[in-house]
Amino acid sequence: MAKAQSSYAVILAFSLLVNLLVYTDGERELSWSKRAAQEAEQVAAISCSGHGRAYLDGLVLYGIKPVCECNPCYGGPDCSMFLTDCAANAGSGDPYFLEPFWMQRAAKSAILVAGWHRMGYSFPDGSYISTQLEASIHKVHAVVGNAVTKGKYIIFGAGSTQVLNAAVHALALENNSSSPATVVASIPYYRLYKTQTEFFRSVDYQFEGDATSLQNISDAGHVIEFVTSPNNPDGKLNKAVLQGPNSSAIYDRVYYWPHFTAIPTAANDDLMIFSLSKLTGHAGTRFGWAVVKNESVYQRMTEYMSESSSGISRDAQLRALKLLNVVLETGGREIFEFGYDTMKNRWEKLTNTLSVSNRFSLQKIEPQYCTYFQKIREPSPAYAWVKCEREEDKDCYKILEEAKVNGRGGSVYAAEERYVRLSLIRSQDDFDILIQRLTQLVKE
């Protein structure tokens, strides 16, 4: 009986192999995956003059082939036309600066998803989380040394956005109070903290604004503080303002990677948020995770994810796994050196451009020792936090807008209108146009 089962297993394995492979002239050739690979290669071969990209899921011209989707300020069928009167796009945080890195590693980072891939709601163990991906996340933090994850729980979410609100929900229920928890952040803060907290209109928590306003209040009740480190928009390594038994902190560390900041030490906060968007640049994959110390907080966050979405897309988890494995091949060296060099050079070029005039100033970020690179590294922030210094320039956003530079005004971050955030992580085209517009402005 055992022999028969063994023979059956051999025959089955051979049958599967034959179904997957076709032999032509003695050489192995792909079968069912061949057409999909050809389609991907054909679309990737569309150059768009280097100022745009064609995608498999993009617009199609006359039902024949995908159309070039041009970078801002470029147009025409092949994106070769420069639109001279166009404004520089320095508003959004799309991390296209890492696109060249992944184009150079097309074979390593590509995946082909079969039509029957993970059709069920859960993995065989009943969970919504890939154990392989969870292990890779632990490993990438250990290799980089930016966060302590040993003995802690990992939770997946649709980008950092979903994970952040799951954390607020879980911490608000920890207090067992009849009053809603107070949610705060230090100015300037990422506006999603306010807009998302207010959007859900929960009876368990409410946004109250600036964390420093509660520093000297002893009976503030249960307070949940968002701590962004490095901060968006100014890149500072923030720490919690509020302390004490009634205060909880959510550390948003999505930018705590060696291409954006020095890593002075491994973060060991009770609740930390990260995302694929700022690690590998794949914002569209919508994959984020939390590292959680407290088991009850972890359980509540898990329940939140289960009830709101039944877990994260299995396709997104597969792509994240593939990308992290590419990162881990070289211990992160390739991507972090590429990313750091790119961002450092952009920061230096921007600093030199604005230093010609005393009309504008930038946030001060000092060189700092990085435990990952094992050396003193220069600043390489994701964003420039620009201040208009002239007394009459009260609305800095308007000043830059008139010079055809679109950023985000200070009020978006609860700061003065004298400030504007400029994104440095977009494509090289976007950055080059930004420098052109700023150069012209300071000359005037």
Which CATH number goes with the domain that contains 235?
3.40.640.10
Q: What is the pLDDT of residue 432?
A: 98
The helix or strand, by DSSP H or E, that contains position 32, with its residue range, turns out to be none
- Count of alpha carbons within 13 angstroms of residue 412, beta-carbon side: 17
pLDDT at 14: 39
pLDDT of residue 10: 38
Residue 380 in tokens: 């390489």
Joined together, the tokens standing for residue 72 give 């801002």
Confidence of residue 28 (pLDDT cuts 50, 70, 90): low
CA distance 380 to 322: 26
Element (H, E) at 366: none
| Residue 13 predicted with pLDDT over 60 | no
Structural domain of residue 260, as residue ranges? Answer: 131-329
Same domain, 394 and 382: yes
d(CA 353, CA 365) in angstroms, rounded, equals 17
| CA–CA dist 168, 161 (Å, integer) | 11
CB atoms within 10 A of CB 346: 23
Has residue 15 got a pLDDT over 70?
Answer: no
DSSP secondary structure code for residue 351 in this structure = H
Question: Are the beta carbons of 47 and 69 closer than 8 angstroms?
Answer: no
Show the CA angle centred on residue 401, arms to residues 420 and 426, nearest 5°: 65
95, part of any domain: yes
**Is 60 exceeded by the pLDDT of residue 25?**
no
Residue 320 Cα distances to 129, 277, 343, 396, angstroms:
12, 10, 23, 39
CA distance 409 to 419: 6
Is residue 124 a part of any domain in this protein?
A: no
Mean pLDDT throughout 124-143? 95
At 99 the pLDDT is: 97
H/E run at residue 53: strand 52-53
Residue ending a domain, choose from 329, 363, 388 = 329
In a domain, 118, yes or no: no
Which pLDDT score is estimated for 262? 98
Q: In the chain, how many domains are there?
A: 3
Does the residue 143 lie in any domain? yes
351 and 290 within one domain: no
Separation between Cα atoms, residue 40 and residue 192, nearest integer Å: 35
Q: Please give the average per-residue pLDDT across 198-203, as a whole number.
A: 92
Q: Are residues 257 and 382 in the same domain?
A: no
Q: Would 14 be classed as within a structural domain?
A: no
Are 70 and 92 in a shared domain?
no
Q: Rounded to 5 degrees, what are φ and ψ at 134?
A: -60, -40
Identity of the residue numbered 288: G
pTM of the entire predicted model: 0.91
pLDDT at residue 258 is higher than 50: yes
Is residue 23 situated within a structural domain? Answer: no
Look at residue 152 in the predicted model and tell me its pLDDT: 98
Element containing residue 296 per DSSP (H, E)? helix 295-309
- pLDDT higher than threshold 60 for residue 2: no
Q: What is the pLDDT of residue 151?
A: 96
- CATH no. for residue 79? 2.10.25.30
Percent of the chain topping pLDDT 70 = 93
Residue ending a domain, among 284, 310, 329, is: 329
* Mean per-residue pLDDT, 50-58: 93
Give the model's pLDDT for residue 65: 80
Which pLDDT does position 59 carry in this prediction? 75
Strands 81-82 and 74-75: antiparallel
Q: Quick check: 411 pLDDT over 90?
A: yes
Residue 266 and residue 178 in one domain: yes
Mean pLDDT score of the chain: 92
pLDDT of residue 216: 74
Domain boundary among 299, 329, 359: 329
Residue 117 domain-assigned (yes or no)? no
Q: How far is CA 334 from CA 145, 276, 282, 375, 443, in A?
A: 16, 16, 16, 17, 38
Whether residue 222 sits in one domain with residue 163: yes
pLDDT surpassing 60 at residue 349: yes
Q: What is the pLDDT of residue 62?
A: 65
Q: How far is CA 85 from the centre of its chain?
A: 31
68-110 pLDDT per residue, tens: 999 999 999 999 999 999 999 999 999 999 999 999 999 999 9
User: Does 325 share its domain with 342?
Assistant: no
What confidence tens digit (pLDDT) does each residue in 174-193 have? 877 778 999 999 999 999 99
pLDDT at 29 over 80: no
Please name which of 269, 219, 227, 264 lies closest in space to residue 246, comparing C-alpha atoms. Answer: 219
CB 166 within 8 A of CB 305: yes
- Whether 185 contacts 407, CB under 8 Å: no
pLDDT for 7 beyond 60: no
Same domain for 319 and 354: no
Torsion angles phi and psi, residue 151, rounded to 5: 80, 5
Residues 244, 371 share a domain: no
Least trusted range by pLDDT, from 10-14, 73-77, 170-174, 335-339: 10-14
Average pLDDT on 359-386 reads 98
- Facing residues of 275 across strands? 288
CB 25 within 8 A of CB 14: no
pLDDT at 208 over 60: yes
Tell me the one-letter amino acid at 396: C
Contact residues for 353 (Cβ-Cβ < 8 A; gap 6+): 435, 438, 439, 442
Give CA separation, 425 vs 94, 228, 231, 333, 346, in Å.
7, 18, 15, 19, 9
Task: Let me know whether 52 and 169 are in one domain.
Answer: no
353 lies in a domain?
yes
Q: Are residues 223 and 309 in the same domain?
A: yes
Percent of the chain with pLDDT over 90: 84
Average of pLDDT values for 254-270? 98
310/341 same-domain check: no
> What's residue 298's pLDDT?
97
| Interval 38-57 mean pLDDT | 93
In 3-state terms, the chain is what percent helix, strand and coil (to 5)?
A: 40, 20, 40
For the domain that residue 360 is a member of, what is the CATH number?
3.90.1150.10
